[in-house]
Amino acid sequence: MISPATILIVEDNSGNRKLLYDIILSLGHTPLLANNGRSALELLKRQPVDLVLLDMMMPEMDGYQVLKSMKQDNRLCYLPVIIISASHHLDNVIRCIEIGADDYLTKPFNPILLRARIDSGLEKKRLHDQETLYLQQIKDYNLNLETLVQTQVLEITEAQHAVIFAMAKLAEARDSETGEHLQRMAEYCKILSTQLSLLPKYRTIIDEKFIKNIYAASPLHDIGKVGIPDRILQKRGKLTTEEFNIMKQHPTIGAETLSEVYQKYPHNDFVRVGIEVAENHHEKWDGTGYPHGLAGEEIPLAGRIIALGDVYDALTTKRYYKEAFSHATSKGIILEGRGHHFEPAVVEAFLATEEIFKQINQHLSDTEKKKMACLPDI
């Protein structure tokens, strides 16, 4: 059974308008009236309608113009339109159907036939509304599902990063002088990568994903220190040649450890970047670094970026064998290393962001430094 609907009658003849009005009421529907095409379109924009009974010959705007306007309007094009016209010419019928009319009745019309055409038009409208509703429900469901999946993936990713960061922190904890080194390194790498992404050379290489990965993976650069004996890692004096050769193994140890993880998860870019920073953060642009003596762009980009951040942090941080250097002194040393220790483009990125480096260094100062600042004078 057809549910009660709102039907717009567009007819300039008052007698025909009254006749259609009474028929619509007798069918249990709500009739709306318009005596010309222009007022019909204005009414359609203000009030929801389920079906339109449209006369052809009207002043101001005829039925063809009204029908064409409706079919060009995304809000009205789906409404069923039944043409009721005095014209019996087949050309007129074809023209209306081509424009988008759903049916065509000639005057004088048969009320029973009109009812059948109205029922058919309303059923078409009902099916359209039902389909629209289902599509919107599916869209909302997919959107909610996508949001849920993204939230869960983010939670899992953050949990993974937290665990790996904790592992890196555990490795660094064996060296009491590192303090907030891991946090600073992450920020330095993020800033350098973001600045480098502005260069044409790196615009297509360094994207948001690259920046997120190097930010998350940079704390893994010294994870290989877990394989270095405490007698060497925590030695206060200068390392012997033999001891230094053992210390130089930590990039390889870290890379090999992470490579085992990567074999199980070969599509995990985060782990891949972790391998690059662990293995290459002591390589130098001129090929004099370790463990492989790579030179220039043989060194993965993540390794070239973290190399500068690692040196800057070492220079500006207090060690048992030296005081912390000022930013100006550290900057001078980095400039001397341009083209030797560091890729020139990375040095330029540092120079463009050095004020941010200073802020990071001050904000994430070593815990021990903070503790000393809080102690009362004796």
pLDDT of residue 187: 95
Residue 214 lies in a domain: yes
Residue 132: pLDDT band with limits 50, 70, 90: confident
- Classified as helix, coil or strand, 104 is strand
Q: Residue 291: is the preceding peptide bond cis (ω within 30°)?
A: yes
Verify that 204 and 352 share a domain, yes or no: yes
Within-domain flag for 328: yes
Per the domain annotation, does 152 fall within a domain? no
Residues 129 and 186 in one domain: no
Range with the poorest average pLDDT among 142-146, 296-300, 347-351, 357-361: 142-146
Same domain membership, residue 219 and residue 366: yes
pLDDT in tens, 248-280: 999 999 899 888 878 887 877 888 899 999 999
Percent share of the chain, pLDDT over 90: 48
Asked if 39 and 16 count as a contact pair (C-beta separation under 8 A), the reply is no
Q: How far apart are CA 92 and CA 89, in angstroms?
A: 5
Q: Answer whether residue 144 is part of any domain.
A: no
Last residue of a domain, one of 114, 139, 164: 139
Residue 149 belongs to some domain of the structure: no
Q: Is residue 111 domain-shared with residue 23, that is, in the same domain?
A: yes
- Containing 132, the helix (H) or strand (E) segment is helix 111-173
pLDDT in tens, 199-219: 999 999 999 999 999 998 898
Same domain, 341 and 212: yes
| Domain stops at, among 139, 163, 190 | 139
Give yes or no: residues 182 and 135 share one domain: no
Mean pLDDT of the chain: 86
Tell me which amino acid residue 324 is: A
> Is there a single domain that holds both residue 214 and residue 273?
yes
Is 39 exposed, middle or buried (CB count within 10 Å of its CB: 0-12, 13-18, 19+)?
A: middle
pLDDT over 70 at 110, yes or no: yes
Flag whether 165 is in a domain.
no
178: three-class secondary structure by DSSP: coil
CA 139 distance to own-chain centroid: 18
Counting the structural domains of the chain, the total is 2
Q: What is the DSSP letter of 220?
A: G
3-state secondary structure of 33: strand
Please, which residues bridge with residue 232 across strands? none
Listed residues 89, 116, 139: the one ending a domain: 139
* Confidence (pLDDT) at 376: 33
Q: Could you give the C-alpha distances from 179 to 62, 105, 262, 356, in angstroms and in order? A: 82, 86, 28, 20
Do residues 204 and 279 both lie within one domain? yes
Average pLDDT over residues 169-186: 67
| 299/110: higher pLDDT | 299
Q: Is residue 163 part of a domain?
A: no
Hey, what amino acid is at 192? L
CATH number at residue 116: 3.40.50.2300
Domain-located, residue 53: yes
Return the pLDDT at 378. 27
pTM of the model: 0.57
Looking at residue 374, what is its pLDDT? 33
Mark 206-220 as b/e (b = at least 16 C-beta within 10 Å).
beeebbbbbbbbbbb
- pLDDT tens digit sequence for 66-101: 999 999 998 899 899 999 888 878 888 888 888 888
Instruction: Give all strands (DSSP E) within the chain, no chain letters.
Output: 6-10, 30-34, 51-54, 81-85, 103-106
One domain for residues 100 and 209: no
Which CATH number fits the domain that encloses residue 185?
1.10.3210.10
Please indicate, yes or no, whether residues 183 and 124 belong to a single structural domain of this protein: no
Beta bridge partners of 9: 33, 53
Residue 321 above 80 pLDDT? no
The Cα–Cα gap between 47 and 125 comes to 16
Token look-up 């990567």 returns 262
Residues 6+ away with beta carbon under 8 Å from 24: 7, 9, 30, 31
Residues 201 and 342 in one domain: yes
Q: Which domain holds residue 126?
A: 6-139
Return the biggest CA–CA distance within the chain.
112
- Name residue, tokens 């997919």: 142
**Does residue 126 sit in the same domain as residue 187?**
no
